[in-house]
A and B are shown apart, each in its own frame.
Chain A
Amino acid sequence: MPKPILIIGCGNPLMGDDGAGNRVIEKLREYKLPDNIELEDVGVGGLGIIELLLDRKKIIVVDAVKTGAPTGTLHVFRREELPSANFFMISPHDIGLLETLELAEKVFPERITKDILVIGIEAGVVTEYTDIVSEEVKRAIDEAVKLVLRELDITEL
């Protein structure tokens, strides 16, 4: 059986701030987290992550977003509050995060949890190949890590 709690980071680490989600996962790997938690860097996500989402008790998704808010802003949603699909980034070749969730709910309704938290990190520059993230996003990554730990009720590590 898959571990009860899944934390996934989406993004491309070579596209600057787009890699925010991947880096949150990297940072979380530095902690000794309880055994019931699985951390996954899922790259650009899409249809391929559906199986990963199934049979969990709780899912946390960290992804870069572009909404026009100041770079580094954190956007936090529960499943029922998720905005339209337009909010999230998608691969040109695949479905986006919201569609993936909706598809999982439609095809595997009994196997997908409702306890889903999505953390969007507002990205700055994402149009040039670089592995450097902006200072604002670096701070946001640290904040997102704290937020994830808080969500999991983890205080002592």
Chain B
Amino acid sequence: MKKITINPVTRVEGHMRVEVFLDEDGSVKDAHTSTVEFRGYEKFCVGRRVEEMPRIVSTICGTCPVSHHLASAKAGDAVYGVEDEIPLTAYKLRELMHMGQIIHSHLIHFYVLAAPDLVLGPDAAPATRNILGLVDAVGVDFVKEVIRARATGQELVAATGAKRLHQSTAVPGGITAVLSEEKRRELLEKVKSDVLPFMEKSIQLAQELLFDKYADLIDTFGVVETSHMGLVNNGYLDLYHGIVRVMKPDGEIYEFEARDYQNEIAEIVHNFSSMKSQYLKRMGSPEKGIYRVNALPRINVCDEINTERANELLKEFRNKFGRPTQQTLLYHYCRLIEVMHAAEKAVEILEDKETITSTKNRIKLEKTPSEGVGVIEAPRGTLFHHYKTDENGIVREANIIVATSQNQLAWNEGVKQVAKQFIKPGEEISQGVLNRIEMIIRAYDPCNSCATHTLPGKMPLELVIYDSNGEVVETLRRNI
């Protein structure tokens, strides 16, 4: 069997390799990604005080520190049995921090990782298909607005998390942050002036690109039939708190509490990747239990969105694409619906002056700590933190399921499909084909390591073709 290796996926993750296997006549037989997962994450947590965990885990991931910070605090709430007693002010401050993260994380993804492919085209040269090329295409003023809107999200995080990175305020039982009236007014003004109007422009741009320009691509590119998972609260989209809802490919729904995740989610270990995958136990097998997380699944599983404009966008989207929507490239659009929701939610929270500026932000922890699960919708999908502690609150066991690994089975299916579609016997493999494979993976916004910037920068893309004896017969490279 011939083997094609694309290594690594630029702009996603230095340590990810895409391998495409050909049969004797040169047709694609199989494809998967191979991922190096950084080790020692759980080990690092053991022996720490559960009260310290939210602060420690916020430094574990450079990409979505807020998600780990809040999931950890929520696990701590559960460890102390106070998950239903968190003061409303603390709940809302945490939620506001999370909305800030959703705004800045999704906007970076859309404008830095997704838009260059869509605006400049999948066949544009890698040298221009990036944020700098985007500046030329959409103009300096537009990019200034991107930067300003994203920065506002970051300010929401800084105001509630004490720092712009490595948040330290959320603790089991509440939050230590207090929002001043002056800061409340300033943030409210900024979300209204710098995010909401800009999101209308972003939605318009995304509709032009995804609904019109690439309409054909949307329906044919990396579409996979899977289940979808996300948190809902009374059926509404809820990024901070709720029950886990699963929608099967036929649209049937079931729900479970996050604390029962081990009864519902099974893990498999691959021989080709050090990152585990998850599937739904109720569906019976990894093949049938394949599911996805992140924006598209969240938009699929919720009945409605409890903010006005985002709900209008949801209805319009659902009328156009149905439910559940399986078109992978629509992840990009769903992220923007979520940013609209996050901005509207931030306004709603900030307008409740009495609650959000109150100093009643913590409760006393009086019960003996034992075990708890915290769950949150990280920008990249459902994130579980599970701690078992001794009676002094020292973590003895920790288990964390990150969003990215839950999408691994699905994107492998997508990669296989695209490889079959675009790599044909006897035909030259163009740079555009390589980028199309990357586009699929990028739609899922993977962050394999939940780690750092320790990955070598824009490493060159390499594609190696092996013959059936494992000998290299051809090597394609770029950026080398």
B contact residues around A47 at 8 Å (CB)? 108, 112, 131, 147, 150
For window 90-136 of A, CB contacts with B under 8 Å fall at: 90-96, 98-99, 102-103, 106-108, 123, 126-130
**Known contacts A92-B14, A92-B446, A99-B131; A64 and B140 CB within 8 A of each other:** no
Q: Could you tell me if B452 and A91 are in contact, using CB atoms closer than 8 angstroms?
A: yes
User: Does A92 lie within 8 Å of B41, measured CB to CB?
Assistant: no
B445 to A93, Cβ gap below 8 A? yes
Asked whether, in the complex, the Cβ of B457 is within 8 Å of the Cβ of A48, the reply is no
Q: Give the CA-CA distance A86 to B43 in the complex, in Å.
A: 32
B448 contacts chain A at the CB level, 8 A cutoff: yes
Q: Are A92 and B59 in contact (CB under 8 A)?
A: no
In the complex where A92-B13, A93-B109, A94-B112 touch, is A106 in contact with B147 (Cβ < 8 A)? no
Does B105 lie at the interface of the complex (its beta carbon under 8 Å from any beta carbon of A)? yes
The listed residue (B39, B135, B144) touching A128 by CB distance below 8 A is B39
Contact check, A94 vs B39: say whether CB atoms are below 8 A apart. no
Q: Are A127 and B38 in contact (CB under 8 A)?
A: yes
Interchain CB contact under 8 A, A91 and B63: yes
Interface presence of B249 (CB below 8 A) = no
Residue on A nearest B140 in the bound complex, by CB = A107
A86 in contact with B457 given A102-B132, A106-B135, A129-B43 (CB within 8 Å) = yes
User: Are A12 and B131 in contact (CB-based, < 8 A)?
Assistant: no
Task: Tell me whether A50 is interfacial, beta carbon within 8 Å.
Answer: yes
Q: A122–B39 Cα gap in the complex (Å)?
A: 21
Contacts of A11 in B (CB 8 A): 452-454
Instruction: Please determine whether B63 and A44 come into contact, CB atoms closer than 8 angstroms.
Output: yes
Residues on A with beta carbons closer than 8 Å to the beta carbon of B38: 15, 127-129
CB atoms of A43 and B165 under 8 A apart: yes
Closest CB of chain A to B462's CB: distance in Å? 13
CB contacts (< 8 Å) of B464 on chain A: these are: none
Residue among A14, A50, A92 with the highest chain B CB neighbour number at 10 A: A92
Check if B63 sits within 8 Å of A92, measured CB to CB: yes
Majority-rule SS of B interface residues: loop
- Select one of A48, A51, A85, A91 contacting B104, CB under 8 A: A48
B-chain residues with CB within 8 Å of residue A77 when the two chains form the complex? none
Q: Is the CB of A129 within 8 A of B44?
A: yes
| Contact pick for B164, options A48, A93, A99, A103, CB 8 Å | A48
Task: For B150, list chain A residues within 8 Å (CB).
Answer: 47-48
Contacts of B151 in A (CB 8 A): 48, 51
Residue B121, interface by CB 8 Å? no
* B451 at the binding interface (Cβ < 8 Å): yes
Could you tell me the distance between the alpha carbons of A45 and B165 in the complex, rounded to whole angstroms?
10
Please give the distance in Å from B37's CB to the nearest CB on chain A: 10
Residues in B with CB closer than 8 Å to A39 are none
Residue B479, interface by CB 8 Å: yes
Q: A51-B147, A91-B62, A92-B13 are in contact. Are A14 and B44 (CB under 8 A)?
A: yes
Please tell me if B456 contacts chain A, counting CB pairs below 8 Å. yes
The answer to whether the Cβ of B243 comes within 8 Å of any Cβ in the partner chain is no
Q: What are some 10 contacts across the A-B interface (CB < 8 A)? A: A41-B165, A86-B456, A86-B459, A87-B457, A89-B456, A90-B455, A92-B12, A94-B112, A129-B38, A129-B43
**Which 5 A-B pairs have CB atoms at the shortest separation, nearest pair first?**
A44-B62, A12-B452, A126-B454, A129-B40, A44-B453
- Interface residues of chain A, those whose CB is within 8 Å of chain B, are 10-15, 18, 41-48, 50-51, 64, 66, 85-96, 98-99, 102-103, 106-108, 123, 126-130
Binding site for A on B (CB under 8 A): 11-14, 36, 38-41, 43-44, 59-60, 62-65, 104-105, 108-109, 112-113, 130-132, 135, 140, 143-144, 147, 150-151, 154, 164-166, 445-449, 451-460, 479
